[in-house]
Structure 1
Amino acid sequence: MVLRWTSEPVGEGIVDIVLSLNEQTKKLHGQEVATASYSDVKSSLTNFDQIGRKIDEVEHAIKDVKGHPGRYLRSMVNAYRYYGRSLQGDSLPYSEYILNIQELPSTLITEETILQQKAVVEEGLTRLGYKGTLKEKADKWHEDTIIDPEQVVAVAESMREKSKAGTLKRVIGLPEQDGLDSIKSTRGVFWSGYSKYVGDFRGNLTFNIDRPWTEPVLGQIMTHEGYPGHQAFYCRWDYLYQQGKLPIEASYYLINSPTNALFEGGPESALHFLGWDRDEQETEGITSDAKQQYKLARDYIDMQRMAQTNACYLFNNGDMTKEESIEYMVRIGNLTDIEAKNCFRFFSDPVQKTYYPSYYYGRWMVGKAYDSVSKEKREDFFNILYDTPHTTNTFIDAVGQLTGNDFKPFECVKTAKEDYVL
């Protein structure tokens, strides 16, 4: 039985728009943006004019849909229109695209916020016995925890069952058929890790071994791509759709939509959900020393992501050149040259440039939400995150209702550009 929020023609029309945008993206840029689709609907709209007319039809049909489904659908359809405009090269301000496609702010993260994060990282490094400047401490930590590129897959494999067991115990249930068919390495890509859902509850993970990997950082990315991150999300949604518990209007994942901050923010917080970074959390098989390393890795990634997100904004806003943005990421975020260049390839890409902000903003939105929820309400939180279709704005409201407090995850990033010192 198919769960529907709208009539059959409207529901199928929504999926058709998504899959047709995917086809146009593949034609123009050779990339897939509908990375999962669980229904039997196929794309039928062969050009942007047809897609635009279908968006008009759907928009008219959903204008009076009440409650949460109405808010969700209107936000999604608005994003389809703006993403289509981006694909066609419409020259709109970068912040307007990010607001309408992802419901996220697009501004500079304050210098104060970055300095506070650097202080957290330095404290963690000092606690582990490292001495010198922040860069000296961080570089020595990297040296001590580095993995040979040919060992990355083996180390990732060692985390597979432990992270899945923790997911089933502490986060969400998954069907028995769930699993990863392969974990592989690759080179020449701009991303660090990639989770490919192949259907029937199965997936594959790939890690880029051009970039340097340390064990603590790989733990964060392995749980991000696998369990309870992307593979868990993809599989759970497939299961829910087949059980008639996920509406056809939300039976897919689309890069460049208001769901992105949840889809990246959950995996960015995945290791935290497992308790691998918390001494007060009893976690089987993870030593106290390992937890300190994983917490430091998360704090370090957050510091890097702040520099990366600012560089993304400054470049796409026309305020930095390629060379300046790469230098900025190396200097402010302590990225290696290859990491900075790969990140630039990511956020300067014509498709990914309007997706990249979901990592930073999603991390803080979902991470702060999880930490604001009492242990007694974590099951309710995971139901909101994994089982309920949400946009950025509806998720923020749902967390506020769950906690009984006004939830404002992005307050710390609102600043005027002229107040920021590069």
Structure 2
Amino acid sequence: MKLGTELARLTAGIDQLYRSTPRSDGFLDKEGLIPVAVAEVEPTSLRDYAEATGALEALLARVPAEAESELRKAYVSEMIDSLLALVTTFAEKDISFADRVRRQIRVSTQKVDDATLDGYRTIIAEKLAEIGYGGSDLGSDVRRWEADVRVPREQVLDTMRKLTADARAKVSATMYEMGDDWLEPDEVRGVPFSAYCDYPGRKLLLNLDHPYTIYALKHLATHEAFPGHLVHLALRQRYVADGSMPLDGAQVVTSSASSALFEGIADNGLFFIDWVETPEDELAVALQRLRGALRCNAAWQHHVEGKSIEEIAAANAEAGYMDVATTASRLGFLRHGLRAPFVYAYWCGDMAVHDVWKTVPRERRAEFWQYLYGNMHTPSTLKAFWR
């Protein structure tokens, strides 16, 4: 537990350094490096990023001898390396975008290949035909279906309340008893995201500048609340408090080694509670994954190939069967220095968790969830240490 306490304190100290640099008063800048902490952490006092780098390197050298398990040795080592990469960016030293993705998010993906994208399109076409929407070009069929299942803007919050309540009931029945824990849907506008779990405020913020289908809201109810971020954070708060999880588990650290699993757990929420029930659900999952993969490619095109967000948004919208304005809004956070590689946490995290989830027999689900929610993970540790 000592390593976890020191890692948490050092991360909090780096967060203080990051926040000490004047930035905008925008939503993402206000988050800092640690947007949520579910326990009190006393930050390590750091003069500058050079001292932070030295402290991280010293802690990394101690990990092999002091880690409580092989899983913790692997995870803490990867987390510290991701923080070293973050500090390099904060200090405005040279680091390539490829290295930021590899070291911070801990994935090898640079651009998602055409075969994978075409695989999603095949599923989309098959499911559209199955429900009677085939016959035109794929983009037209997708847009027609989404228009028919779109929730009127004035009904979005009430629809989300019902779906979130349904998801909570399913989680309580099959995974963890959630009692009356809740995220209250609330609207926001002019922000570079679709939805956000405000855990301290217990709100599910929905960007009503965007259109939503009933299936998109169903996904967001599971991603942001049950069994996604709300459940994940509530369990981490409980486990840190009772001493079964080290103190670093109390922190959500943006664009770090923990990010892909934080988002991947949330993106697999529909599967955990057996809520992918119909061809429409399967269609919606394939669309979500196609669009997530395309956002990874958009990040690479912007940061490596030098294309503008406006240029990318037009091509991305066409490939993902979306309107350009919504696509451009969802790509807006690619301009944010801290969050530049974070988009990879969604699609890559989804794939990392789902690849393991597919191997878990029904009778071992409870064991797997304890392993998944009860430990801090990266994509590689999740795969390596689940048996």
| TM-score, normalisation: structure 2 | 0.92
Alignment partners' CA distance in 1, 2:17 and 2:109 = 26
1:46-195 matched pairs, under 5 angstroms: 46-66=47-67, 67-131=70-134, 132-174=136-178, 176=179, 178-180=181-183, 182-195=184-197
Alignment partners' CA distance in 2, 1:60 and 1:217 = 45
Q: Give the letter for the 1:38 counterpart.
A: V
Alignment partners' CA distance in 2, 1:322 and 1:159 = 33
- Aligned residue for 2:65, secondary structure, equals coil
Q: Is the contact between residue 384 and residue 398 of structure 1 (CA under 8 Å) also seen in structure 2?
A: no
Question: Which deviations, in whole Å up to 9, do the C-alpha atoms of 1:364-420 show, x marking residues without a partner?
Answer: 111221122111211122112111122221111123xx2xxxxxxxxxxxxxxxxxx
Alignment partners' CA distance in 2, 1:177 and 1:313 = 42
1:20 corresponds, among 10, 13, 20, to 13
State the Cα RMSD in Å.
Answer: 1.8
Q: Is the contact between residue 157 and residue 187 of structure 2 (CA under 8 Å) also seen in structure 1?
A: yes
Q: Give the letter for the 2:34 counterpart.
A: A
- Aligned residue for 1:18, secondary structure, equals helix
* Offset at residue 89 of structure 1 (A): 2.3
1:347-362 matched pairs, under 5 angstroms: 347-362=334-349
Q: Give the letter for the 1:360 counterpart.
A: W
1:5-404 matched pairs, under 5 angstroms: 6=2, 10-28=3-21, 29=23, 30-32=29-31, 33-43=33-43, 44-66=45-67, 67-131=70-134, 132-174=136-178, 176=179, 178-180=181-183, 182-198=184-200, 203-278=202-277, 291-399=278-386, 402=387
Q: Give the letter for the 2:48 counterpart.
A: N
- Aligned residue for 1:129, secondary structure, equals coil
- Aligned residue for 2:202, secondary structure, equals strand
Q: Give the letter for the 2:37 counterpart.
A: S
* Offset at residue 113 of structure 1 (A): 1.3
Cα distance, 1:82–1:196 mapped onto 2, change above 3 Å: same
Alignment partners' CA distance in 2, 1:46 and 1:20 = 9
* Offset at residue 37 of structure 1 (A): 2.1
Alignment partners' CA distance in 2, 1:260 and 1:330 = 26
- Aligned residue for 1:354, secondary structure, equals coil
Q: Is the contact between residue 39 and residue 237 of structure 2 (CA under 8 Å) also seen in structure 1?
A: no
* Offset at residue 145 of structure 1 (A): 1.0
Tell me what 1:413 maps to: none
* Offset at residue 319 of structure 1 (A): 4.5
Cα distance, 1:12–1:276 mapped onto 2, change above 3 Å: closer
Question: Which deviations, in whole Å up to 9, do the C-alpha atoms of 1:135-194 show, x marking residues without a partner?
Answer: 1111111110111222211110011221111112223344x46333x2101100010000
- Aligned residue for 1:205, secondary structure, equals strand
- Aligned residue for 1:188, secondary structure, equals coil
Alignment partners' CA distance in 1, 2:226 and 2:263 = 13
* Offset at residue 11 of structure 1 (A): 4.1
* Offset at residue 23 of structure 1 (A): 2.6
Alignment partners' CA distance in 1, 2:47 and 2:30 = 17
Alignment partners' CA distance in 2, 1:328 and 1:301 = 17
The unaligned stretches of length 5 or more in structure 2 are 24-28
Alignment partners' CA distance in 1, 2:330 and 2:181 = 31
The unaligned stretches of length 5 or more in structure 1 are 279-290, 403-422
* Offset at residue 214 of structure 1 (A): 0.9
Q: Is the contact between residue 260 and residue 358 of structure 1 (CA under 8 Å) also seen in structure 2?
A: yes
Q: Is the contact between residue 197 and residue 203 of structure 2 (CA under 8 Å) also seen in structure 1?
A: yes
* Offset at residue 208 of structure 1 (A): 0.4
| TM-score, normalisation: structure 1 | 0.84
Tell me what 1:417 maps to: none
Alignment partners' CA distance in 2, 1:321 and 1:301 = 23
Percent identity (aligned)? 19
* Offset at residue 41 of structure 1 (A): 2.0
Cα distance, 1:101–1:188 mapped onto 2, change above 3 Å: same
Q: Give the letter for the 2:141 counterpart.
A: K
- Aligned residue for 1:207, secondary structure, equals strand
Q: Is the contact between residue 196 and residue 204 of structure 2 (CA under 8 Å) also seen in structure 1?
A: yes
Q: Give the letter for the 1:220 counterpart.
A: H
Alignment partners' CA distance in 1, 2:6 and 2:17 = 16
* Offset at residue 265 of structure 1 (A): 0.6
